[in-house]
Chain A
Amino acid sequence: MTALKKAPGGLIRVAPVVYLLLLGSALFTFTAGNFLTVGNAFNIMRQASPLLILAIGETLTILIGEIDLSVGYVMSFTGLAAAYMLEAGVPLVAVAVACLAIAGALGLGNGVLVAKLGVPSFIATFGWGNVVFGLGLIVSKGLSVPALDESFRFLADGSVLGFPVIILITLAIFLLVQYAMKRTAFGRNVYGLGGNREALFLAGINVDRAQVWVFGASGLLSGCAGLLFAARAASGHAGSGVGWEFDAIAATIIGGNSFTEGRGNILKTVLGVVFISLLRNGLNMSGVAPQVQSFLVGVIVVIAISIDVLSRRAR
């Protein structure tokens, strides 16, 4: 084997998060009662599922050097749409397909704004997200819409062979995206857009279109997250996802994904989501007030991102 520059990068980058996780978990076993139980573990996983799916979508955007601030809004909008459709008696499968299609289309909208019209991604997705939010508010008049359909709720609360369905669905989505990242043109484009657009262009790939698809994928995944979240909450609400984009972005970056060179993968995102979920859950169980939680999470995330950026520069 010739000329390796350094040890496989994956190990070094994961290290900080892993340490943080271990440290955090150790802390929480003292401050919280039921922290290290199987029941709590499943609890955390169930809670984290929508966030994980959301974060996976966000990871795709960040890997290509952009950002998607609309994921929270698309998520709530999809949940709202699902609730309305279920109420109207539409069968579950049709609801899922329709809602995912809507979410995907919303994502493509972001992509067009960014890739074809040249709007910076944080403005495009910020504005577009607010448009979606507004639409949801108008339609629902700001009220919650119940989603009590049993088969729908089964997605979130049910179990198959002892495993919560929601976790199985999330796992399936993870595997699907992982396949796409490793074995399809889509995944190759993600790394190419983030690492060397010129190389993709010279290989004959339509760089603009590739970008649009990435945003579309992010939208689609936000839609999945929305469906699961609405199933868990048994209702849809236009504002339920507000602020989730921060956790999604934070999880992506804390996990070790880089927005400057197309470096990373969704496994790292999983770690980031686990970290944030553990953090929130642990703080909750330690009796920390929700306001303080938000603040602490904000501070820790900012510190973690800064460390990440600074350490990369030092290398």
Chain B
Amino acid sequence: MGTPLVQLRDIKKTFPGVVALSDVSLDIYAGEVHALVGENGAGKSTLIKILLGAYVPTAGSVSFDSREVSFATPFDASKLGIEGVQQELMLVPWLSVKQNVFLGREIRRGPLGGFDLRAMGAASEELLAGFGLDIDVNRPVKQYAPSIWKMIDIARVINLKPRVIVFDEPTAILTQKEVDSLFSRIAELKKSGAAVVYISHRLEEIRQIADRVTVLRDGGVIETRPIGSITDDQIVKMMVGRDVAGYYSRTIVEPGEELVSFRGVSLRKGQKDIDLSVSAGEIVGLAGLVGSGRTEVAEAIVGINKVIAGELRFRGESCAPKDPAAMIKRGVSIVPENRKYLGLILKFSVALNSVLSVFKSWTRVVYGKKREAELADRMIDRLSIKTPSRDQIVGNLSGGNQQKVVLAKALLADAKLLILDEPTVGVDVGAKEEIHKLMDSFVGEGGGILMISSDLPEVIGMCDRVYIMYEGRIVKHLARRELSSEAIAEYMLGAKKGERL
């Protein structure tokens, strides 16, 4: 193997209130495919963004060819030959395919130095043919399907002849034929001495092409091992952590009235048969990977997504939710995943944020400052929100306390059904425990919770029942006694035999 081409040493990356990576060290060798696996939030994206020059590490060093380097912009990394194929497509929609392939490095000719479109056309046709793509390179990229976009993006990056190439979940939208094509190109890259970093949640793929695999969890490296020396089960166990015990205490309550139910619901073309229900007294979990469609389902309850087939019922009545305002009045509040932008108005006070859902329905025309204060104080007390005063700007609070303010807003709106989307992400341990206690007492008093979470111990510890989604469908429903990390993870990752499309 020799010396690593890229060395990441003791990388630490923090954002306000969150530690994304702590002491991660990684060696990347030329001529090898190095797989990176981990759950949502384990730190994979952050790590490769540092490698690609999009983020600057808070601490630690990056070395390339045994020399320490630092990148001010991604282009600096690019100059060294480090390129990445990100999840977001880096193409210009209304430029032609050939122009996209050569973006920034166009072939020129003639006295004026204008683009040589014909040469670019021929070259890109040849390049894409190597990927099994036979398309008209003169058409704008936008006119092709997303999987073709991805292939063009991949072709563009490979055309740059990088020394290190990072793939971030490349196969998510590709057909099997395209995946095979990609894998043969990756094999070629290996042979030519490039280093390949490959992020994916599809274990069978990793087994096919990777030489070594590194498992990340909670911002740290668990282990790095040659792929042959580790089984899928072992990988899953490392990703997910030890089995849950003792952290979470729930008082199990007999389920009451059915609050919401989906029967044969479809939210977009091609999706079908979403069946799910939440009753009073239950905490129902919705597990799955990022992009599996959980948030879509949850937001349908408050009318942000519309039901195009099937039936949605709320408390027994057929219901077509109009908008969150209408559903809040009926007792449904949502705590969105992106609490900073969707859940709170950061530059306003704790007090105003907590009454955001209710002040509209106060009887007086005048905004009741006193009422705001009363209600805010009540919530600050009940939820133990740590803030110097109720007038403190919410943006200055820690993640955990911000989340409590969002919860306060829902509680003040007399919610009967709470929809929580990743409620404890970016929340410190103490606040996390308090939020869980709150959830427990909420359902104990007759409320119902639908919780989306990627934190498997949390799912197992808190939920009475769990639905698992994979690529837009509900693939499994597990009752409390059937819950285990491995079971959930396997359905989440589609690793269970027979689940693959």
Contacts and interface: CB of A to CB of B under 8 A. Distances in A.
* Physical contact A–B (CB less than 8 Å): yes
A198 B49 CA distance: 14
14 contacts: A1-B134, A1-B136, A2-B134, A2-B135, A2-B148, A6-B143, A8-B143, A9-B143, A199-B90, A199-B92, A199-B103, A200-B92, A204-B104, A263-B142
B106 interface: yes
A310 B232 CA distance: 50
A179 B114 contact: yes
A194 B142 CA distance: 13
Contacts of A199: 90-92, 103
Contacts of A201: 73-75
B139 interface: yes
Contacts of A5: 143-145
Interface of A: 1-6, 8-9, 179, 182-185, 188, 191-192, 194-196, 198-205, 261-264
Contacts of B103: 188, 192, 199-200, 203
A200 to B, nearest CB: 7
Given A1-B135, A183-B115, A202 B92 contact: no
Interface stretch (B15-23, B93-101, B184-192, B411-419): B93-101
Given A183-B114, A191-B95, 19 more contacts: A1-B134, A1-B135, A2-B134, A2-B148, A179-B114, A184-B114, A185-B106, A191-B94, A194-B94, A195-B92, A198-B88, A199-B92, A200-B92, A200-B103, A200-B104, A201-B75, A202-B74, A202-B90, A261-B93
A261 B142 CA distance: 10
A104 B483 CA distance: 69
Interface residues of B, number: 31
B283 to A, nearest CB: 38
Contact of B78 (A198, A204, A261): A204
Given A198-B90, A199-B103, A202-B90, A183 B117 contact: yes
A195 B93 contact: yes
B147 interface: yes
Nearest to A192: B92
Interface string B58-75: 000000000000000111
Interface string B128-145: 000001111001101111
A203 B143 contact: no
A280 to B, nearest CB: 30
Contacts of B94: 191, 194-195, 261-264
A196 B135 contact: no
A313 to B, nearest CB: 14
Given A9-B143, A263-B93, A3 B135 contact: yes
A192 B90 contact: no
B101 to A, nearest CB: 11
A8 B139 contact: yes
B234 to A, nearest CB: 37
A182 to B, nearest CB: 7
B95 A182 contact: no
A184 B91 CA distance: 18
Contacts of B134: 1-2
Cβ-closest 3 pairs across A and B: A203-B104, A183-B114, A204-B75
A3 B144 contact: yes
Contacts of A4: 139, 143-144
B92 A262 contact: yes
